[in-house]
Structure 1
Amino acid sequence: MQKPLAGLTHRNLVRELTAGVTLLAIAIPLNIGYAQIAGLPPTAGLYALIVPTIVYALVVSSRQLVASPDAAAAALVASSIGGLAAAGSADYATLALAQAILSGIMFVLLAVFKLGFLANFLSKPILVGFVGGLALDILVSQIAKMLGVKIDSGGEFVDKVAGLVTGLGTANLWSIAISAGSVAVLLIGKRYLGQVPWALVVLVAATVLVVTAKLDQAGVDVLGEVPAGPPALTWPVIDWTMWLALVPSAMALTLVTTAEGLLVSRSYGEKRGYRTSPNRDLFAFGLGNLAAGASGSFAVGSSTSRTAAMDQAGSRTQLPSFVLAAGTLLLLLFGTALLADIPSPAIGAIVGVAILPLLGIRDFASLWRTDRFEFAVGAVCFLVTLFVGSIPGIVVAFVLALINLAKRAANPAIDVLEASGEPGGSLLDEAPKGEVTAPGVIVIRLAAPLFFANGAVFGDAVKKSVRRAVDAGNGPVRHLVIDMEAVTDVDVTGAESFEAMLTWLEREQIDLSFSRVRPDARQRIEQLGLLGDRRTYPTNRDAISALTKGNE
């Protein structure tokens, strides 16, 4: 088992500690903003940086992945719990704890039963659409905060937009000025001096301005008093029906985090030359979420932006996460008074700039250029998430994933080499060159497992190729050779379709032979009774040669 601080040496200790201070400067303002997005007090975001962070860092296999609530998770929490309790109430906070615990249990189950592959159903277009819809919903709330306009942040997207538009007349000029300055500093600073924690710089400068100029008296909204003290161990006590009501949203949180978290973990492991364990990472997410639910926080996921920031800072261990936890604890013990006068427009600007990349504009443009169907999948997921809700969005995402999978599986590449001795061409794609057959022989290669989605398609392809060979004047077809090299499996439905094809071949007096059958596939087709007394040859050339000699 990998040590919690694997990769740490006396040579990189200072660099890792410095990266931890940078992470602290980035995480505190963002987590305060994410807690507000989720409809929770600032402490919920700060508590996530202590116990959950420590637990996760002690268990995870990745040396760099940073665990924390992110914008998408916060929006999911708000959209899913908003219909069950009033944002800001004690019941609402309790439901957020229960949701994190459910998500933690699901992560642990995924790890124990090695079911992380389920997240693979969330393809890139689906993730882009789902996260993009959440991001745009968040952005509207942050724009209202930046303008000083009061809207119902827990409402539907259309209601938020309507509230923002109708409330423009109440916008506060000082709030607009703080927001504009904050956005300018964040964007320009990130472009030219990316190593500087500009979010912290913006918070400090905006807070000093508000305090010295007493802008809170001029209508600028501030964070307000933040309770001091460490997180306390707790456990949500709710009715079992509420636990059931939280299951779909917890499942959505789990799947989105699994898809993104495992991808980021693997990519950085490959990039920096260390091994990662997907199941162990899922287990770490599970324990981290259980810790979040038991320490007053909310659902924890992977932070791609913070992980990238740590990589750029030269960090190659989990030490920055421990520095983050220690620094946040000290802040909660001795420095919460410093947080009270932070202006909300500055928080809105920080969160707004952070989620801009999540809108997926470049990704959608790329999908439009490369694959219109994939673009449509992402767009539908985006619109459903935005206008119907996050849970329907994730359901639609899975349905679209299955449709996309079925569409591709039902149309496999079927290469056909006809009796004339020239490549006959694939029914779907160009046939490979350089392979020829003897007169009266057709070789067909199915480049996929034979199963319920393509069994009938394969049978029709065989009939079509035989008829096409005859119509071309190449004489009667007497032998069919099926190249089985790419057929890794056969299911019962596929076998039934195959039997129907065999009946047709017998009626047409066409012999059947198999070529290059894989050992595992051979066992399967024998079990299904498809082989019988039919001959099997190791290569296409051997099969064709034997058949040709039989015709002499």
Structure 2
Amino acid sequence: MSPPLPGLTRSNVGLEALSGVTLVAIAVPLNIGYAQIAGLPPTAGLYALVVPAVLYALTVSSRQVVASPDAAAAALVASSVGGLAVAGSADYLSMALAQAIISGLMFVACSVLKLGFLATFLSKPILVGFVGGLALDILVSQLAKMLGVRIESGDEFVDKVGQLVAGLDTVNWICVVISSMSLAILLVGRRLNRSVPWALVVLVVTTLAVVWADLASRGVSVLGKVEAGPPQLTVPQLELTVWLSLVPSALALTMVTMAEGLLVSRSYGAKNGYATDPNRDLAAFGVGNIASGLTGGFAVGSSTSRTAAMDQAGSRTQLPSIVAAALALLLLVFGTAVLEDIPSPAIGAVVAVAVFPLLGIPELRELWDLNRFELGVAAACFLGTLLLGPIPGIFIAFVLALVNLARRAASPAVDVLGAEADADHALTPLPTGRSMTVPGVVVMRFAAPIFFANVGQLDESIHAAVEAAQASPPEDGTPLAHLVLDMEAVTDIDVTGAEGFGECRTWLAARGVQLHYSRVRPRVAVLLGHYGLDEGTTAFGTNRAAIEALTTEVDSR
């Protein structure tokens, strides 16, 4: 049986515990900010640091991924629950808790069904676009806080921008000074020493300034009273119809967290030399989200920024999450009064700096250089999420994923192969100026399963190759008599593919060309027989000697 915290030893326990202090210093201000984005009380962000974090740390396979509410989760909660209830109301909080529980149950179901592979379904461009759209929406809200302009956080992006522009004549210049100082400390401090919890420094300094100069009386918004006490068991009391209405947004939370969380887990495991189990990680996310919903928190996912901070601090176990949970609990029981005077402009600056990298500007620039189609996919997800909302955005992401998958599956590589003079040399794509592999023979390679989406391309490619070979015979005048299809990359044939391929065989026979198969997989050989496509000979190699032996044998019959 593996230890509760793999990687923890007597020699590193001190470093790991100290990393937990750093983690709580980073997480407290961010979680308060994310709770505000979600339209929830600050305690919802703090409660998510306690029981959910401990249970996740004890069940996850990753030694480093930190589970916590993040920007994407906060934005999804605000947009989805905000359409069903008024932010700040009891029903709103209950729905956010229920949403976390539903998402947790979905994670557990995915783990039981071993669906961890689904994390690869959302490609990088789709994630970049989706998360980038959420990030820009969040940044508009944080910019309003930094300027002291009041806007409705639950509104759509365009409405928020309109309110922000309309409210520019109400800018509070004290708020501007506070947020500017906060940004300077965060950005310069991070360059000087990344191990310092600069977000905590910002909140301490600006809170002291607010209290000393009584800036709250001069229009600077502060966090306000924060409820004290440990997390308690809270079962949301909602009608069944309300639970069902939360399923689509919970599914969106689950899919985004799954894709990002498993990617982060796998990358850090590979980087630091330990194995991870995606299905166990899904179960851990499930346990964490259910616990969060039952103890007053909201949806948790993988925190990329906090995980990176722990990696830079040298942490290689989950002990920091447990230490941070203990310290957060002490803060909730004894220290919430120190949070009341935290200025909103400073919180806005902290969240803005944390969220800005999620815009994905470097990734979009890279896509511009590498693949314009995938840049278009990212842009479509970005705009869909930004202008229509996260739920339509995730739907657009799935549709684009299917379109991208179908586009690639429907256009596999089809090569006409050429033979070198050396009989043992493997066949390679046919050089320019030649139409046959060897006199009388064309060898083609189809690099995909044959199914309804691509059988048309296979048919067109065979027609084009045969017509080219018959129109331009070799110098010795040998007519085309054989077409060999290299089947090594063909792993499956469906009914529509078999029907289209059968028509192609008939067309070849009418042109006086005999079809042969090369390097057929056992399962595909069974399918060829099942569909009545197995008539003819099979070559077991794709070099010149094998092809010439095949045609000699056939021609001698």
Please report how far the alpha carbon of residue 437 of structure 1 lies from its aligned counterpart in structure 2 after TM superposition. Answer: 3.0
Match for residue 516 of structure 2 among 513, 520, 523 = 513
Give the conservation status (yes or no) of the 8 Å contact 1:417–1:435.
no
Which residue is equivalent to 1:425? none
Which residue is equivalent to 1:487? 490
Give the conservation status (yes or no) of the 8 Å contact 2:222–2:341.
yes
Which residue is equivalent to 2:125? 125
Please report how far the alpha carbon of residue 550 of structure 1 lies from its aligned counterpart in structure 2 after TM superposition. Answer: 4.1
Q: Which runs of 5+ in 2 are unaligned?
A: 423-427
* Letter of the 1:485 counterpart: E
* Letter of the 1:34 counterpart: Y
Indicate the SS of the match to 1:416.
Answer: strand
Which residue is equivalent to 2:552? 548
- Provide, for residues 72-103 of structure 1, a one-character-per-residue CA deviation record: whole Å limited to 9, x for no partner: 11001101111100111111001101111111
* Letter of the 1:340 counterpart: E
For 1:276 and 1:485, the matched residues in 2 are separated by: 32
- Which segment is superposed worse, 294-303 or 534-543? 534-543
Which residue is equivalent to 1:426? none
- Provide, for residues 502-545 of structure 1, a one-character-per-residue CA deviation record: whole Å limited to 9, x for no partner: 121222232111111122322333333321x3222211232432
Give the conservation status (yes or no) of the 8 Å contact 2:414–2:446.
yes
Which residue is equivalent to 1:145? 145
Indicate the SS of the match to 2:99.
Answer: helix
In the TM superposition, 1:33-72 aligns within 5 A as 33-72=33-72
Give the conservation status (yes or no) of the 8 Å contact 1:514–1:536.
yes
Which residue is equivalent to 1:403? 403
Q: Tell me how many residue pairs correspond in the alignment.
A: 545
For 1:259 and 1:2, the matched residues in 2 are separated by: 26
Question: Please, what TM-score do these two structures have when normalized by structure 1?
Answer: 0.96
Which residue is equivalent to 2:263? 263
In the TM superposition, 1:112-511 aligns within 5 A as 112-417=112-417, 431=430, 437-474=437-474, 475-511=478-514
* Letter of the 2:257 counterpart: T
Indicate the SS of the match to 1:61.
Answer: coil
- Provide, for residues 352-374 of structure 1, a one-character-per-residue CA deviation record: whole Å limited to 9, x for no partner: 01000001111111111111111
Output the aligned Cα RMSD.
1.9
Indicate the SS of the match to 1:7.
Answer: coil
- Which segment is superposed worse, 438-447 or 178-187? 438-447
Give the conservation status (yes or no) of the 8 Å contact 1:107–1:285.
yes
Indicate the SS of the match to 1:14.
Answer: helix
Give the conservation status (yes or no) of the 8 Å contact 1:443–1:483.
yes
Please report how far the alpha carbon of residue 549 of structure 1 lies from its aligned counterpart in structure 2 after TM superposition. Answer: 4.9
Please report how far the alpha carbon of residue 407 of structure 1 lies from its aligned counterpart in structure 2 after TM superposition. Answer: 1.1
For 1:73 and 1:544, the matched residues in 2 are separated by: 63
Q: Does 1:535 align with 2:537?
A: yes
Match for residue 525 of structure 1 among 518, 528, 535 = 528
* Letter of the 1:544 counterpart: E
Indicate the SS of the match to 1:540.
Answer: coil
Indicate the SS of the match to 1:512.
Answer: strand
Please report how far the alpha carbon of residue 473 of structure 1 lies from its aligned counterpart in structure 2 after TM superposition. Answer: 3.0
Q: 1:37–1:481: structure 2 CA closer, same or farther, 3 Å change rule?
A: same
Give the conservation status (yes or no) of the 8 Å contact 2:436–2:469.
no
Please report how far the alpha carbon of residue 432 of structure 1 lies from its aligned counterpart in structure 2 after TM superposition. Answer: 7.9
* Letter of the 1:386 counterpart: L
For 1:453 and 1:118, the matched residues in 2 are separated by: 22
Give the conservation status (yes or no) of the 8 Å contact 1:418–1:441.
no
For 1:147 and 1:168, the matched residues in 2 are separated by: 8
Give the conservation status (yes or no) of the 8 Å contact 1:513–1:543.
no
Indicate the SS of the match to 2:246.
Answer: helix
For 2:252 and 2:547, the matched residues in 1 are separated by: 51
Which residue is equivalent to 2:425? none
Please report how far the alpha carbon of residue 216 of structure 1 lies from its aligned counterpart in structure 2 after TM superposition. Answer: 0.7
Q: 1:432–1:334: structure 2 CA closer, same or farther, 3 Å change rule?
A: farther
For 1:438 and 1:348, the matched residues in 2 are separated by: 71
Please report how far the alpha carbon of residue 431 of structure 1 lies from its aligned counterpart in structure 2 after TM superposition. Answer: 4.9
Please report how far the alpha carbon of residue 482 of structure 1 lies from its aligned counterpart in structure 2 after TM superposition. Answer: 0.7
Q: Does 1:79 align with 2:79?
A: yes
Q: 1:536–1:146: structure 2 CA closer, same or farther, 3 Å change rule?
A: same
Indicate the SS of the match to 1:205.
Answer: helix
Question: Please, what TM-score do these two structures have when normalized by structure 2?
Answer: 0.95
Q: 1:418–1:272: structure 2 CA closer, same or farther, 3 Å change rule?
A: closer
Indicate the SS of the match to 1:513.
Answer: strand
